[in-house]
A = this chain, B = another copy of it.
Amino acid sequence: MPTLTYRDALNQALREEMARDPDVFLMGEEVGVYQGAYKVSRGLLEEFGPNRIIDTPITELGFAGVGVGAAMVGLRPIIEFMTWNFALLAIDQIVNSAAKMRYMSGGQVGMPIVFRGPAGAALQLAAQHSQCFESMYAHIPGLKVVMPATPADAKGLLKSSIRDNDPVVFMEGEMLYNTKGEVPEGEHLVPIGQAEIKRPGDHVTLICYSKTVAICLKAAEQLAAEGVSAEVVDLRTIRPLDLETIFASVGRTHRAVVAEEGWYFAGAGAQVVDEIQKGIFDELDAPVLRVTGADVPMPYNKHLEKAAKVSPEKVVTAVKKVLYLE
């Protein structure tokens, strides 16, 4: 299997789906001439032309709405946000138009659209450019929220999202774009709504997604060295949650730690905790602990930023707590 970066895996998914379906187009800031702010759309303008790769003004609310309108009449838009931080300007269109169109119209108007772009923090981009909003979108019925951690999942889930008939919020990671991994060629589809066990284990379940998957895998290694066998469950999709996989794993380990990059209050992890304690309360030998980003706007200084972020060490500490090792 060829090894690709997460960026190129996304690029491949876009290329394959645009070749497969003439109704699919990509619209956003700098996606064309500039080849993408993070080069995810590199080469697509040359291959598909300006009718299908559309550079927009810096008007997130407006072009998100243009995407929604195009989807109302059957096109399959991929709307790229340069980052999800800027999508706050467009959230009205995502929540009030895209997520509700089918329902408000009594099922007459479909909404096959993908909103995508990098989410969360990179390095020293400070408060306005380092945010995670998946829990906001996952809060909304009508939306699906997908957050792949690996190149293979990035390709497989983006292809599934583009083919999906509902609005999908697809969150990538600037810090993930350069990560490498094996990616199946051609028709590789990862179904929305399926978590994956990225590392099997017996003593504790580490539930994670997007950037925290690599962190939890590191933590699992450190723990292994100390004789603790941790199972790493990559949610991959935040909404809908794959409760079956979560319950099966925690049902075996009886202990869980949820790691998410974003803030703790009503984060996606809180929902995971809620589901676990409700679904398999009697299986729990300890409270489910969460490791989240520090509950502050992201500081610029690199040491402060590092301290604000989730780390393998923080995950290990939480694991030891749920194992009552400390």
Contacts and interface: CB of A to CB of B under 8 A. Distances in A.
A218 B268 CA distance: 31
Nearest to A293: B141
Given A89-B92, A277-B288, A128 B100 contact: yes
Contact of A139 (B91, B95, B127, B263): B263
Nearest to A276: B277
A274 to B, nearest CB: 4
A307 interface: no
A264 B241 CA distance: 13
A103 B61 CA distance: 27
A142 B131 CA distance: 13
B270 A266 contact: yes
A325 interface: no
Contacts of A142: 297
Nearest to A279: B287
Contact of A263 (B104, B140, B286): B140
Given A127-B100, A274-B274, A138 B91 contact: no
A33 B284 CA distance: 59
Top 7 A-B residue pairs of the complex, sorted by shortest distance between their CB atoms: A281-B287, A270-B270, A103-B297, A135-B266, A88-B92, A100-B127, A270-B274
Q: How many copies does the complex hold?
A: 2
A143 to B, nearest CB: 10
A280 B204 CA distance: 20
Interface string A250-282: 000000000000111111111101100110010
Interface in A95-117: 95-96, 99-100, 103-104
Interface in A125-167: 126-128, 131, 135-136, 138-142
Given A263-B141, A271-B266, A274-B274, A103 B91 contact: no
A264 B268 CA distance: 11
Contacts of A85: 96
A264 B273 CA distance: 13
9 contacts: A88-B95, A100-B127, A104-B126, A139-B265, A139-B266, A141-B296, A278-B287, A278-B289, A278-B290
A59 to B, nearest CB: 12
A235 to B, nearest CB: 13
